[in-house]
Amino acid sequence: MSRFLTPHAALLPSSVPFTGPETLERRQGAPFRARLGANESLFGASPKALAAMRAAVEEVPLYGDPENHDLKQALARHHGCAPENIVVGPGIDGLLGLLCRLTLEPGTPVVTSLGAYPTFAFHVAGYGGRLIRVPYRDDFEDPAALLTAAEREGARLLYLANPDNPMGSHHPGPVIEDLLADLPPQTLLVLDEAYADLAPEGALPRIPADHPQVIRLRTFSKGHGMAGARVGYAIAEPGLALAFDKVRDHFGMNRISQTGALAALEDREWLTHVRDQVARARARIAAIAQENGLSALPSATNFVAVDCGRDGDFARRVLAESLARGLFIRMPGVAPLDRCIRISLGPEPAMDVVAGVLPQALAAARG
C-alpha cells in the first residue's frame, strides 16, 4: 500500500460495493444472455432524451455548465420549489459521497439499515463515520428502530431508502412524515428516493423543500433509464444545498447528460410508458416465481425480490447457477434478507431468459 495514504485510508479495503456485470463476464469468458442484476432500466431512455443527447455530442469539446442552471430551473419547476433547493450531481452515489464529506468527521455516528444500499455505508466508512446498523423488520426497513438508534447514538445522519433496495418494499408517505417529525434535532434524514418515479400512489411523503432536517435524493437512472448518463439531484433547504458548492466537482456534469436530463424530464409520456412496462414485468416475474414454487415479494421498484424459501446458502447456489447459465441477477447480502434473489425487470425476451434459466438453476442448487 502506498506510503502517502493517511492512516485511515490505509486501513480501508480497496474494493467497490458491487462487482459489475462486466467483471463477471470477463471471469466467465462470455457475455450474459440477460443483464438483470444492476437495477438498470432495460426499457430504455426517452427517445426525445436520446435525440437531444445525440445532438449534444457535437458540443463534447465544451465543459458542461458548472452551475447546472437550466437543469436546476427545470427541476425546481417540476417539484414546485426554488432553484436554490436543488443540487445536481453525478448520480445519487456521487451526492452521497459529497454529503458524507460535508457532514462527517472520524467517529461521527451514522444510522442505517443492516443490508440496505451498501454505497452509502461505503462513503460513511471512507470519511471515518461510525456506522450503526439496524435490522430490517419483515422485509421492510424499520423506521421506529432507526429513530430509536438515532436518538440513542446522537446520530448526525439517518439513511433510509423509500422505496427500498434490495427488497423493493416501501412505507407509505405518512410513515416517513412521522419519522421526520420525531427526528432528534441533531439528525439529518437522508431520504433516498431513487425509485420515486416508479413508486405507487401514496408512497412519497409530503415534505416542504425548505425542511431543515431532510435531504431527498432522486435520480434519472431508474424510471428515466439513464443510468449511464450519471445524473442525480437532491432537494434540500437552501443552506444545505449551497454547501455542496464547497466540495463538489463543478465540471463533474457533462453537457450531454445535462441536455438529456432536461429532455427526459419533459417527456412525461415516456415515463408513463415505462411504468406500464414495469408493472407488466412485475406480474411476469411473480408468475415465474409461482411456477417454480417460489414467492415474489411485493415491489415498488424496477426489480423484484424472490424468496427462495430456504437460507442464504441455498439462495447463493441459485445465484451462482443462474450466472453460470448467462443470467445476471443479484441478491441481498445479509440474513435473513439473503434467502432472496433480486431480479431487475425488463422486456419479454429478458423475462423469457428468467423463465428458462430459473428452473435449471433451482434444480442444480437442490441437487
pLDDT digits (tens, 9 = 90+) for 117-132: 999 999 999 999 999 9
* Average pLDDT for 28-34: 95
| Domain assignment of residue 87, yes or no | yes
Domain stop point among 231, 248, 266: 266
| Domain assignment of residue 183, yes or no | yes
* Average pLDDT for 5-9: 93
Q: Which band of pLDDT confidence, cut at 50, 70 and 90, is reported for residue 26?
A: very high
Domain stop point among 210, 231, 266: 266
Q: Are residues 72 and 116 in the same domain?
A: yes
| Domain assignment of residue 227, yes or no | yes
* Average pLDDT for 288-314: 98
Q: Are residues 224 and 301 in the same domain?
A: no
Q: Which band of pLDDT confidence, cut at 50, 70 and 90, is reported for residue 224?
A: very high
Q: Are residues 223 and 301 in the same domain?
A: no
Q: Which residue range is the domain that position 304 belongs to?
A: 20-44+269-366
For residue 2 the three cell numbers come to 502506498
Q: Are residues 207 and 281 in the same domain?
A: no
Q: pLDDT value at position 317?
A: 98
Q: pLDDT value at position 2?
A: 83
Q: Which band of pLDDT confidence, cut at 50, 70 and 90, is reported for residue 1?
A: low
Q: Are residues 303 and 207 in the same domain?
A: no
Q: How far apart are CA 198 and CA 302, in angstroms?
A: 7
Neighbours of 113 (CB within 10 A): 28
Domain stop point among 208, 233, 266: 266
* Average pLDDT for 226-236: 98
What is the per-residue pLDDT across 170-201, written as a single tens digit (0 to 9) for each? 999 999 999 999 999 999 999 999 999 999 99
* Average pLDDT for 88-99: 98
The total of structural domains in the chain comes to: 2
Q: Are residues 282 and 250 in the same domain?
A: no
* Average pLDDT for 219-229: 98
HSE (side-chain half, CA atoms, 13 Å) at 69: 2
What is the per-residue pLDDT across 232-261, written as a single tens digit (0 to 9) for each? 999 999 999 999 999 999 999 999 999 999
Q: Are residues 118 and 261 in the same domain?
A: yes
Q: How far apart are CA 124 and CA 166, in angstroms?
A: 19
> What separation in angstroms does the CA of 99 have from each of 20, 71, 92, 157, 252?
24, 20, 10, 10, 16
| Domain assignment of residue 2, yes or no | no
For 143, residues 6+ apart whose C-beta sits below 8 A from its C-beta are 160, 171, 175, 176, 178, 179
CA-closest candidate to residue 144, choices 126, 125, 171: 171
| Domain assignment of residue 14, yes or no | no
pTM for this prediction: 0.96
CATH number of the domain that residue 182 is part of:
3.40.640.10
**Contact criterion met (CB below 8 Å) for 234 and 192:** no
**Contact criterion met (CB below 8 Å) for 359 and 289:** no
